[in-house]
Each structure stands twice: as structure tokens, then as C-alpha cells.
Structure 1
């Protein structure tokens, strides 16, 4: 079979279709120029629509911070393509127009012209359609809020452990508020930046809000920053009240799981008033804040375990940060520079702000002499001469000073700079000097003024301007001290002359002594003061811890305003100049730890004297009669370790109606009993009582001491004949009466077998026992049994932080049973070969970082209650280094 095609179309149909095709093509040719002209017009109109739309989009994006709608973005992209394609056709059109003839209805190249005509007609319709679709009532809307926005942050050094500690704390469901606190310039904001950026980099379900709390209107400012992050900020927002803003914020945040990062708060921040829902385990939200003030941390988050202190960098990390800023090229410029750089870093004391600022200042210093000069000015606390330090670093640190409550707090703070660098300042000593200078409320008694002083110290610690070193001592960070001296140097009111701890061997010189209000030459090697200083405005003079032998008689002639004079710890000073009596304004005189042999009778002229310290003046043998009683305003008298017998001035005490504080050594039981019969002593705070020798007694009724008011320190020294401290039935009624006793020390009490009476000291913090040859135990269980039914302190050693046992050959037991020791941090045991067991079990000192120091041979022989106890305290041991 062959291929057979069947044609069913009629001839008329074929002719009709051919005609229509021919007519259509002819129409394309005839309308070519008309379509081309129309396309040009429509393209221009489309461009106009695009320009108008783009203008509306820019206003929405730039001024209203909105994001263009996806359909608008798609239309603009399509319009760009359509216009580009149309313009290309228009450019190509002249060559096709030239081919047309017979009025545009024929073409010399019909196939090409017809094809091009189709493109023109099609593009014309596309342009028309695009133009019609460009009518948008809205071109943009608010963008979706990101969960966290990244913040600019430089690479950090030494914050890894702090960050890890924080992030671990953040994971705890029960922790809703976390504080980050520390010294200005220590890296708190940097750490908060790291936290923010961690949120940005990981997957989480928090809405992260960063806000800086300013001192000026902090709530309003934080509200404004929150509003931006949660999409509330608009023109109407500014006109709303604080409460209205709080309501709006609360409505949004109560539906979100948020993390609010508050930087640099200076006082308790009222989250509720700002409209921030309080974080709970149920809502899972977090509030993280930074502050320079520890007290703000306590107010925001009372559980200090959930507040993280950012410490200064350790030496290795500090040098790494310094090298990063100074540049390794500079450090390699000369072989000596690297070693000198280590000294510069040491002066910065690990404070990142100082390391960064001084590092940048030294980046261009390429010679050892320049570096030696930098070390010199840093050691003299004159860093402000280095480029950028005075203008950049100190003002940032000074903000903490500016934020202190009032001028009294600021003056008390500046006073601390009189002490040498890295000096451990005893709180009591500092407060007594403040009182002497009149910085505290003088209308109150000494005890109240001291309380005020301790409150100010606490506030300075809270502001991270002072560092707490135990309960009784503070110190000032080196860089903060430098800043303090810079402030004093800039002050019109306060003029300081400070050369403390700078190894002076001679009396220094100055151009304008008349301007100086406070002077410190303490902790040097000055031997003689042989030049008169005309200091009409001087109020405080520190000369302690020198090698003074001679003070010329007229040295004090021109210091009429001097109120505080400290000559302590001058072991070579044997005589006071008589002209010291010309210091008619003097209120505070410290002669402790000197070798003066007598007090001049001329001192009677010191009518304003309120504080006299004669402690450890072992060579003092002469105090003129009626001299002590002539100090009618005296409130503090310190005589522990004074060579002059207290009994000789005992009766004069009755005339000192303002006497408030006394420290004293009793050399016999009879003198103690005589003193305590004076009614005057019932109102005096016996801060320190030392029982020395006590040759007239083999036993002591503890009741005699228990009645001493406000006793803080009790010392038994060389009481060779004392065999027993009795706990008699009549003390039972006054059990627990040593409420103020914090320290007990026993030296050379060879006949005592125990010190069981300390069960009546519930707040004892430290116990030192040295060279008591016969001592067998601390607490005798039998004696304890006699008083357990009384009100005595049965919670033994609940406040004890440290005890030291040394040269006790018969010591076998501290206590027969294990005790909790909740506050204990240090045990030091030396030359106690019989002491094999400590009153510890696996629950003792739980949570504390306990250190047990002793000989390695002794440690190996310690008998433990059980294996778990041995394992628990194994890391605590520290070998004693002789």
C-alpha cells in the first residue's frame, strides 16, 4: 500500500485564510510607524510612573525607615526590564523604517519588516500593561524586626572566662536578672557587646533589645530605645507621657520572650515603670545590665551569685592587650623596650582602659629613653603628661567620681590618694583621719561619726572606687589613684602635695607651699626635717613610715590650720619638738610605733585634740601629770603596747567627759579590776584590750572581760602564770556577751590548757594561738557540756574566717566533733606535731575556697573522718614555705 493523503479543506477556506494572513501582515507594515511612535510615548509615560513610584519608595525608606513592598520591588524590576527592551527596539527601528515603501504598506524586505513589526506591537502592549499595573496605594511597610542586631566590637583580650561564666548563668531558667559590675574601663560594655553579638550569631527565640541608660532621664531614654526595637517609634510616640509609653511597651513585650541588655546604669532601674515585664521562669525573659556600682547590682539582683564582677586582667593577658595596641614592631625596635614595656604594663595594674590608652600613646615611642620616661611618670602618678591619657582615660574614669552623692563623699575619696600606691588602708584609721579633718558630721559623737565614715567607705566600694581587702582593709587601684591625683591637681579648692612611697631621702621642696591643703610624705626614707614649711592652709600632714630622727623645733611654726598629724612608724624618732604645741588647730595626733621617751608638757596647748594614738610606744616612760586630763575634748585614746603604765593615768580618765574609744594594756588582774570599777568605763568602747604578763594571777574569771563594752580585739601576751580562764555559773546569765569580739590572740601563755571560754564569742572572725607550750585543746568538751544548757553560743565558729596555730607541742584537739565552718577561708598550722585530726567533714566549709597551710610531713599524717572528707580537702593544702 502507498501513502494516501486526504485533503478535506475546501478551496474557499484556504483562500480565506491566505487572505487574512496577507491582510494581517500588510496591516503590520502599514501601522509600523504609528506603533513605533506610540511605543516611544508609552515608554516615557512608564518612566514617569517609575520615577514617581521610586520617589515615594525613597521617602518611605529613608525618612520613615520602612521597607518597600515585595510587589513594588517586583514591579520596579519588571519596569526596568521592559523599558530597557523597548528602548533597544526604538534604537533598532530606523533601519527597518528605511525598508518600507508605498506609504509604509510594503517593504523591500517584507519578512524582516513583518517580524520587527510584531516585536514593536508586542512591546507596546507590554509597556501599556506595565504602566497600568504601577498604581500602588502603599509602596512600603514596617520591616520585620530582627531577633538581634549586630553591634560593632573590637577583638577582646582576657574576657573569655567572664563571658563563659555569664553565658552559663544565662542558661539557668531560674535566673531572670543578671548584673555585670566592675571598675570603670574594665570591659563591662565590651562584654555586653559580646553577649549581644552571640545572640546575633546563634539560633534562639529571644527578641534582643540593647539600650543605654543615661543618668539624665534614664527611664525615658531606655523607653525610646526599646520602642525603636519593637516597632513603636513614630511621630505620635514623642508626644506620649512616660506612663503611656510604658503601657505600649508592656503590651508588646508581655507577648514576647525578650532579652533586654541595659548598659551603664547608675542607680536602681525601675523596670516596671519603664513598661518592661519582670523576667520570670514562666515568660523566660532576661534582663542583663552593666554598672560600675556594686550596690546597684544588689538592688537589681539581691542574689549576688547571679551578679558577675569583671576583674582586671592578669599579667599575661594584660601584656597581650598592651602589645596589641602598642604594636609588635615598636616592642622589637630595641632590645630593651620589651622589658621596659613589662614595667609599663605593671603600672596599668590590669585595667584594660589604661592598657589600651597608654598602649596607643606609646605606639610611636621607639627609643628606650622615651619608655624610661613613661615609666617614671607612671610611677609618680603623672600619666596625664602622656598623649591622650589626660583627655581620654581620666575623664572616663572621673565619671564615677562625679556621680558620688555630694562633696563630702568626693573629699573623702580624694583623701585616700594620700596613701602610697598599693597601700592597704585600715578602714578605722582612714575614718579617724576623716573625722580629724572635719570631713564627717562633727555634731555627733565619735561612734556615730565612725558609722558615717564606714557608710561612705561602703559607698566608695560599691562605686568600685575602692577595693575591699577583707573586712577591715581597703585599697585603691593604681590607675584610680592616678586619676584621683589628676582630679586634685585640676582642683581650685583642693591642693595636694603627695610624695608618698617614692623613696625620698630628704625633705622635698615646692614652689607654693602656701596653697597646699594636704600633704603626704609617708613611706619614704626621710631622716631629718630641718627646713621650715610655711603652709598656712595645710590641714593634713602624713609623715608616717619614714626614718625620722630629727624634727627641728620650728618645723611646725607656720601650720596654724593643721588638724591631722601622723608621725607613726618612725622607729628612730625618740623626741618630739616642743613647738608641736603651736599646732593649735590639731585634732588628730598619731605617735604610734615611735620610740619617743616622753610627751612634752607643752602639749597642754593642744586644746582641740580629739584623737591621740600612743600604741606600741614601748619606750614611753614619761607623761606629765594632768596632761591627758587637759585634753578636755579627747574622744579617742589608744594606749595598747604603750610603755607608760595605764594605771598611772587611770584617774585622769574620769575628767575626759567626751572619751568614747579606748585601747589599753593591763599588766595585772588588779589593775583590770580597778579600771572596771570606774563608772566612766561603762560607756567607753574598749576596742582592744591586751592582758600582758598578769604575774599576780593564776586564774582569770572571764566575767571580768565579758563586761568590757564593745570589745573587738582581746590579746593574752606572755601570761606565763595564767593557768585557767574560768567559766563560772554567774557568766551563764550573760552568755554570748562578747558580741563585738572579732579577734583573739594568745602568745606565750604556757600554762593554759584550753580556751573554751571563746564559745561566748559568737562573732569571732580570727583566732591566733602561738607559743603556748601547755595548750592541749581549743574547746574542752567537758567545759562545753557545763554551759550547753545556757544561752552560750553552741553554733561554734559560725563566723570564723581564719585560725592560726603555731608552736603548740601538746595541742591534740581543736574540737572533738566536725563543725560546719560556713565562713572559714584559711587554716594555718605549724609546729603542732600532736594535732592529727581537724574538726572537718565533707560538709565543712562547703562552698568556700578553703586554704590549709602547713608542713608537708604533718599533712601526710592527718587523720580524716572518712575518705570523702580527705578527697574534699585534698586540693585545699598549701605547703608552708619557711
Structure 2
């Protein structure tokens, strides 16, 4: 009986199997269509994977072994599936697209069904396989270009010719030469971008050279760009670069080379050209044809000035057609201007920008006359001087001598080095080029001057809003003007970046000396006696003591001394004999006390001692400094390495002293008690840079006392730092009762920088979601670091002017933005977002946040974070880079389409 029951239970199973096999001959066309459909789907997935691998390869990516195996399996089964489909199609062609062979149909249908299942299995399998195992820093990076330079026919022709030469197997070193400002750098960037769009070369190295370029500089730039191992040894760096490049197709682009460079010493593999399966090319730009000869180029290519039609088009685009058409005479004068500029692109852009919106014909007539006076026929060897005479047009048409002097002092910074706006304005103030009783007004005028210089292309913007830079040709022109068109060559001496001993040549006419980032083993100056030296800058270098050469009492003209960011540990008493000094900056050194001899600086207006571990300053002597306007004693609290230890009553004595100084306008200082903040309101001493540390009063809440809120002090604050304290709350919008019984609030209308460091706090208190916008209407930069109990920073999301936000080393924060007003724009101007060392951070916000201006993100040490604040369909339009750790990147997304959406922005961090 048991056997019978078992036999009966098998009947349905046997019947289903028999039915399945009997159906094969009748479902042959259905199974073939399903097979072809799955084959098409698998082929599409294969192409997507190959595209991902190709894109990753451009960034030195490596396909995983799993994906390689998957691709081999795809090829094998794809071949079998095609054979089955073809066999069926051949049989159908015999009799009216129908296969009459029952047994053949059975076998084909059965194989089609089996392979369809295998194909679908492979389709599903691919989604769980990582495609790329490693992506290093990109080996080819697209570079930004000025659109106005790209539209000319000659530029397109030059680009096409250069590209052909690079592709030519016989041309291995290509030299592009021409006068300064003719567009060589722009062309080299175009070459870079053209290579970026094809796959001929896997590595492109764009290196900006300078007059002081060295093997070491090029090595460090290549190593930094591609995340290679760093070394103090030139030979080790050479081997590192050689090993990196020797099996790759590469192009080395050297921009603005001034002399012969030994590329083998850099580590560039030789010979150039095609070596085995590798292609090796070098392209350089230079102003000198001799450099092409010294570099033994295989093909020289000269970039010439623009022809009339292109020059006119470029100039008109800068001036604007509206200006050109505003008066019949202006067209005539504009034509004359373009003729005088001789087709030089940089001159056309510079002068055109200066004349934009000038609609008075008499102004145009005067400018034509000035240009004609400035332009002379010169020999070929003086061609750069011709350029300077043309570019000097924009300098000459600055509104006054004061602004022209401001521009010339920009050349005290090194070539191709960014200039901090605040440092530049402070130098102008120290030189007396800006002299205002209101210090904030002085800074505002300085920023205004910078905007004017930018508007006429004498200064350029950078990626960092706090910085500007000088084009190297404009800088050379500036130094040419300073030297009285080359006659007084040592009038201003500007040096940077030297690495060995040197002697500086100074004569009696030397007025300015600038050494920045000047890391030297030894440096010697001749005697400065009887010179007209008025400005001495030696910053960001390795000075450990005051330069002996400045100890001479005969330096009666010296008014500006800047020795910031060195290693000086004793205040140089020698400078106290230089009674004409008006500006002294010793910030960022290791000075502990200021000597009483400082009383000799009776003309001192600006004294910057920020970032020194000070513990003593002679208050009784400060009374003698009647001209003092600015005193910055801000501590180095940003770094937590050094502290200031002034006596407890020092602050009160300092306020009493400074209030008596008739010219005083700005103080930078540290406070450590609520009573100290309240005390500020009793004195008419403007505080511009305030640091609050080691809070000792109250109920665990940091707040601004009502006396302070009701005073004029809040409107003068430019930078506020809160550091090193254990508190529960930061109450920015205080509701403490004032003496009049009214609740007080405060607007920090001038505050642009807010830093919060090493504060054990829970959160910020605000009266409403709108309060931060009212309190911080112009806040541009926020840095929050090492606040271990901080929960979120939702209050920052609607700040109208916030440009940079950095949050680091906050152990408790798990969600950055907790709540915000959905109807208002989020982070309207934020350009830089940095998140570092936030181990519990899980999300930036539960709601979608828009970043309309975001350009750069950095995420590091945020292992709990599993997503970005935007989706693949909502990537910020201005986004350039996302800096992340590779290990973290490999864990956040499993779907390849999300990776492919973000991969072009991702850059990996290497430590």
C-alpha cells in the first residue's frame, strides 16, 4: 500500500516533466525570442561595464578579477546563444519561415530555454560585482579656459596643428614659443583638454614653470598631483616618478619655461616617442626661441598675434557692443585702439576690460593718444618691453597715483603665488596708501581697490575667495615700471623659493626687499647703510633670529617690517631703534614677551603679534605709542599648540591704556570670563578679532551680556573664535534682561569669520529659525572643531553669505542638519564643505538639500556616513571635486549607476 501511495504521488511530477518536454517543439519561436531578448539585455550591461572600466582607466582604475571573470563568461555564453539563434533562423528560411523538423525544434527550443536562464542569471549577477578595485587621483584633468580666447580661427588652427604634431610619431618634443601675452598658456590648456577627451595618452602632466623653476619644483608638483610617495631625496623622487611613468603613455606639458631643464633628473623616462607599446611626448611653451634650441625640440611652433578681424572681435567682446555702438565716434576710436594694440590677446583683453562701459567719446580720444605716445618701434630683442608698454595702458588709466602704487606693491609676492586679500590690504595700510581713522573703513577701501584692479584685469581671481593673483606677464610689467623701464634694476628686490646659499645685491637706490617662502641654508646682505630702504618683507621662511643687516640705526627710511611666519623666539629689540617704523608684523613666531624698548617706536601705527605664545606686554610703555591704530594679540587657539598666559589684571590695564591712545582703532585679544566681555562695553576700544576661551562663569551657557549687546562693540567684530571651554550651550541670541527691562538682541553685522574650537557643548540656542540670518548677515566662513558633544548645526543652512563650512573632530554629531525652513533656499552661496573626523555622522540631512554654489567637498573620517546630501539627478551644477578616502567610497554605494554619476568628481585622499 505504501508503495502504491508513493507511486501515485510521483504522477504529477512526471506529468509536468513530460508536458515541459512535449511543449519544447511548439514553443521554439517563443523561447528563441526570449533568448534574443535576454542576449540583448546582457549585451547592454556588458557595454555599460566596459564604459565604466574605460572611464576608470583614465583615472588609473583597475577592473576587479570578478568583473573580468564575468566578462569572460558573458563572451562564452553569448557565442553559444548566437549559435542557437542562427541555427533556428537557418531552418526557418527553408520553408516559409517555419521549421518543420520536430526533433530539431525540440533540441533548439530546449537549448534556448536553458541558455535564456543562464543569461538572466548573469544579468543579475553583475549588479553585485564591484567593477573597479582602485581609482587613484585622475591622471588626466580637464582645465578651465577663458572662452573669449577659444573662438578665434587662428587659435583653432594652432590647436589642430599642435595636436597633429603630438600624434606624429616623429615629433617627440614640441616647442611652442611667442611673446608674452600672446596666448601660449591658453593653447597648452586646450591641448590638455583635447587629450582629456580621447584615450591616446593615459597620463597628462601640466606643470607651470617660472623664472626660478627647478628640478625639485617639477618633481614635487608631479608627486603631489598623482599622489606618489614623497621623499626629501631628489634621487628617490626621481626613481618614484620614473617607476610611475615608464610603462605608461604620457604627455608632459611645461608652461612658460625660461631656461633648459634636465627632464631625466626629474624622472621623465627616455627616450621620447614610441618605445615598445608606450608613447612619450613633451610639449613646452616659452617666450624664447633659444629655449626651444636648448631643449632640443623636434618641432618649433610659433604663436603669433591675432589678425585684424580676430583682434577686433576679441576687443569688442571685452568692451561690449553696447559701448561700441553708444556713439559714432567711439567706433572710430575703438578701431584705432585695436590697431595700436597690435593683435596681442592679453593686451586686447586687458585694455578692453578697462574701457568697458566708457561711453564718453572724449575719454576714448584721450586713450588713443596715450597709446600712441606709449608705443614705439623697438627691435625684436625688446619685444617683451613692447608688450609692457602696451599693458601699461591699463596701469596708466587707473584713477590716481595712490591706486597705481597699490597695484605695484602686488608684485612683492612671488610669481604664480596667491595673495591673501587681508595681507595685501594690511600692507597698503602700513605703507600709508590707505589711511583711515576707522579701521573697518580702511579694510573696506582696500577690498574696493582689489575689485577695481580685478575689473581691469590687473589682478585675477582664484578658486579661493580670500585670495587674488597676478598674471606673470602683468607682474613682469609691474616690476618693469618699478625699475623705471629697466634702468634701475635693484630698486625693488623680490625673491622666493631659493634652496641654497645666496648673496643679495643691494645698492643705495634699493627701496623695497621682499623674500617670501625663501627656504635657504644661508643668506647674506651687504650693508644697508645710506640706502633708501623703506620696506623689508621676509615671511613664511626659516628665520630663527632677527636679520643682522636690519640692526643699523642708519635705516632711517624703513617704515614697514614684516617677519611673520618664521621661527623667531625673541622680540628683536634692535627694531626699537628704527623710530620711523609704522608697520611691524611678527605674527606666527615663538615670541613670549615684548620688551620695554618698544617705547622707541613712537611712529608705530600697526603691530601684529597674532599667534605668539605671549605672556608679557609692557602696558606702561604702550602709553608712549600715541600713533598706534592696530594691536593684534590674538592667541594661536586655532592649532592648540601654544597658549598665552597674561596676568589676570592685564586685560583691564590694557583697555585703560588703549582708550587713551587718540588714533587707536582695532584690537585682537583673548577673553576668558563673562565679566571680561561685559567690561568691553565700558571702554571705547574697538575689538576686531575676539577669542573667547576657558569660560568660567554662569550656568554652563556662553552668552553675550546685555551690556555688551547694547554697546557699539558687536558691530565692530570681524572675526570671532570660541575655544577651550566646557559649556552646555552657546546662546547667540541672548534674551537676558537689560537694565532698562527690555530684552536685548544683537546683530554681528561685520562678522565674517566664526571659529569654534575644543568646546564641550551640546548645541546652539536660537530664538527662531530666522535668527541666525539676522545675527550673522555677512558671515562667510565657519570652522567648528573638536566639539565632542555637539549634536547638529542646523542653524547654518540658511545663512545668506556663507561661503566655507568646516566641521571636524566632533565625536557626537550624527546628523548635521536636523531641521530647516523648506520654503527658503539652502546654502545659497556655499562653495566649500569640509567634513572630517565625524565618526557618528550618519546623514547630512534627512531632507534633500540643494547646494546651488557648491564647488568642493571633502569627506574624511566619516565612516558612518553612507550617502551624499544630493542624488545622482541633483548633483550641484558648479561641483568640481569631491575629496574622499578610497575605502569609504567603496562602501557607500553598491549600484554602479550612482558611482558612474559621481566618479568624474571623486578624488582620493592620500596620507
- TM-score, structure 2 length as denominator? 0.52
Deviation at 1:437, TM superposition (A): 0.8
Give CA deviations for 1:206-238 in whole Å, capped at 9, x if unaligned.
xxxxxxxxxxxxxxxxxxxxxxxxxxxxxxxxx
Matches within 5 A, 1:8-157: 156-157=157-158
How many Å separate the matches in 1 of 2:538 and 2:903? Answer: 47
* Structure 1 residue 623 displacement after superposition: 1.0
Aligned equivalents of 1:734 and 1:525: distance in 2?
44
Counterpart-to-counterpart distance in 2, 1:611 and 1:159? 55
Choose from 444, 447, 452 the match for 1:454.
Answer: 447
Q: Deviations over 1:417-442 (max 9, x none)?
A: 111222211011111111211223x2
Correspondence list, 1:542-561, <5 A: 542-551=537-546, 552=548, 555-561=551-557
Compute the displacement of 1:595 (Å): 0.9
Q: Could you say if the C-alpha distance between residues 853 and 709 of structure 1 is closer, same or farther in structure 2, counting changes exceeding 3 Å?
A: same
Change (3 A) 1:688 1:391: closer
Alpha-carbon distance, 1:405 to partner: 3.4
Structure-2 residue corresponding to 1:490: 484
Partner of 2:609: 614
1:468 CA drift (Å): 1.0
Q: Let me know the Cα RMSD of the aligned residues.
A: 4.3
Distance across 2 between alignment mates of 1:815 and 1:154: 47
Question: Any idea what SS the aligned residue of 2:478 has?
Answer: helix
* Counterpart for residue 824 of structure 1: 854
What is the match of residue 471 of structure 2?
477
Residue matched to 1:31: none
Aligned residues of 1:608 and 1:633 also touching (Cα < 8 A): yes
Name the residue aligned to 1:412.
Answer: 406
- Indicate how the Cα distance of structure 1 residues 385 and 541 shifts in structure 2: closer, same or farther if over 3 A, else same: farther
Give deviations 1:698-746, integer Å, cap 9, x for gaps: 3221236965451211111122x323322246x9667522112111112
Matched, 1:763 2:817: no
Q: Is the 8 A contact 1:713 1:742 kept in 2?
A: yes
8 A contact 2:311–2:348 mirrored in 1: no
Could you tell me how far 1:508 is from its partner in structure 2? 3.8
Q: Could you say which residue in structure 2 is the equivalent of 1:82? A: none
Structure 1 runs (4+) deviating above 6 angstroms are: 151-155, 159-162, 187-191, 492-495, 527-531, 731-734, 866-870
* CA-CA distance at 1:876 after TM superposition: 2.2
Unaligned runs of 5+ in 1: 1-150, 163-181, 192-257, 278-287, 302-383
1:736 is matched with 774
1:211-610 equivalences under 5 Å are: 261-262=312-313, 264=315, 269-274=323-328, 291-292=349-350, 295=353, 299=357, 387-440=381-434, 442=435, 445-469=438-462, 470-490=464-484, 496-503=491-498, 508-512=503-507, 514-525=508-519, 532-551=527-546, 552=548, 555-571=551-567, 573-610=568-605
**How far apart, in 2, do the equivalents of 1:419 and 1:629 lie?**
35
CA contact (8 A) 1:427 1:473 kept: yes
* Change beyond 3 A, Cα 1:631–1:778: farther
Instruction: Give CA deviations for 1:336-387 in whole Å, capped at 9, x if unaligned.
Output: xxxxxxxxxxxxxxxxxxxxxxxxxxxxxxxxxxxxxxxxxxxxxxxx9994
- The CA distance in 2 between the partners of 1:188 and 1:804, in whole Å, is 32
Is 2:908 the partner of 1:879? Answer: yes
* CA distance in 2 between partners of 1:451 and 1:805 (Å): 31
Matching residue within 773, 780, 788 for 2:818: 780
- Measured after TM superposition, the shift of residue 874 of structure 1 is 4.2
1:510 shift after superposition: 3.3
- In structure 2, distance between residues paired with 1:481 and 1:507: 23
Task: Tell me whether 1:655 sits opposite 2:637 in the alignment.
Answer: no
Q: Alpha carbons of 1:818 and 1:867: their partners in 2 closer, same or farther (altered >3 Å)?
A: farther
For 2:523 and 2:544, the matched residues in 1 are separated by: 6
Cα contact 2:614–2:645 (8 A) shared by 1: no
Which residue pairs with 1:204 in the alignment? none
> In the alignment, is the contact (CA less than 8 A) between 1:698 and 1:722 conserved in 2?
yes
Q: Which of 718, 723, 726 pairs up with 1:687?
A: 718
Q: Distance in 2 between matches of 1:154 and 1:834?
A: 50
Q: 2:907 & 2:606 partners in 1: Cα distance?
A: 42
Judge conservation of contact 2:783–2:805 (CA < 8 Å) in 1: yes
Residues 788-838 of structure 1: per-residue CA shift (max 9 Å, x gap): 9xxxx9433111111111111011222221122111001110110111132
- Using the alignment, how far apart are the partners of 1:500 and 1:641 within structure 2? 30
Verify the 8 A CA contact 1:854 1:878 in the aligned structure 2: yes
For the residues of structure 2 that align with 1:863 and 1:669, how far apart are their CA atoms? 48
Deviation at 1:464, TM superposition (A): 2.4
Aligned counterpart, 2:183: 186
Deviation of residue 402 (structure 1)? 3.4
Counterpart secondary structure, 1:637: strand
Whose Rg is larger?
Answer: 1
Q: Whole-Å Cα distance in 2 between the matches of residues 270 and 836 of structure 1?
A: 55
Residues 1:727 and 2:766 aligned together: yes
Deviation at 1:532, TM superposition (A): 4.8
Deviation per residue, 1:45-64 (Å, 9 max, x gap): xxxxxxxxxxxxxxxxxxxx
Distance 1:553 1:275 in 2: 58
| Matched position secondary structure for 1:833 | coil
Deviation for aligned residue 1:776:
1.6
Given that 2:749 and 2:777 are in contact with CA atoms closer than 8 Å, whether structure 1 keeps it comes out as: no
Corresponding residue of 1:853: 883
Structure 2 partner of 1:800: 830
User: Are the structure 2 counterparts of residues 188 and 858 from structure 1 closer, same or farther at C-alpha, using a change threshold of 3 Å?
Assistant: closer
CA distance in structure 2 between the aligned counterparts of 1:154 and 1:670, rounded to whole angstroms: 67
Given the superposition, is the C-alpha separation of residues 409 and 630 from structure 1 closer, same or farther in structure 2, using an over 3 Å criterion? same
SS at match of 2:574: helix
Cα 1:390–1:625 change in 2 (3 A) is same
- State the number of aligned residues: 539
C-alpha separation in 1, matches of 2:354 and 2:160: 22
1:135-157 CA-to-partner distances (Å, cap 9, x unmatched) read xxxxxxxxxxxxxxxx9979953
Can you list the C-alpha shifts for 1:128-179, whole angstroms capped at 9, x where unaligned? xxxxxxxxxxxxxxxxxxxxxxx997995348999xxxxxxxxxxxxxxxxx
- Give the Å deviation of 1:767: 0.9
Whether 2:710 is the aligned partner of 1:714: answer no
For residues 728 and 832 of structure 1, the distance between their equivalents in structure 2, rounded to whole angstroms, comes to 31
Deviation at 1:589, TM superposition (A): 1.2
Given that residues 504 and 524 in structure 2 are in contact (C-alpha distance below 8 angstroms), is that contact kept between their aligned partners in structure 1?
no
How many Å separate the matches in 2 of 1:429 and 1:614? 14
Q: Is the 8 A contact 2:811 2:838 kept in 1?
A: yes
Partner of 2:644: 644
Describe the SS at the equivalent of 2:834.
strand
In the aligned structure 2, how far is the partner of 1:779 from the partner of 1:615? 34
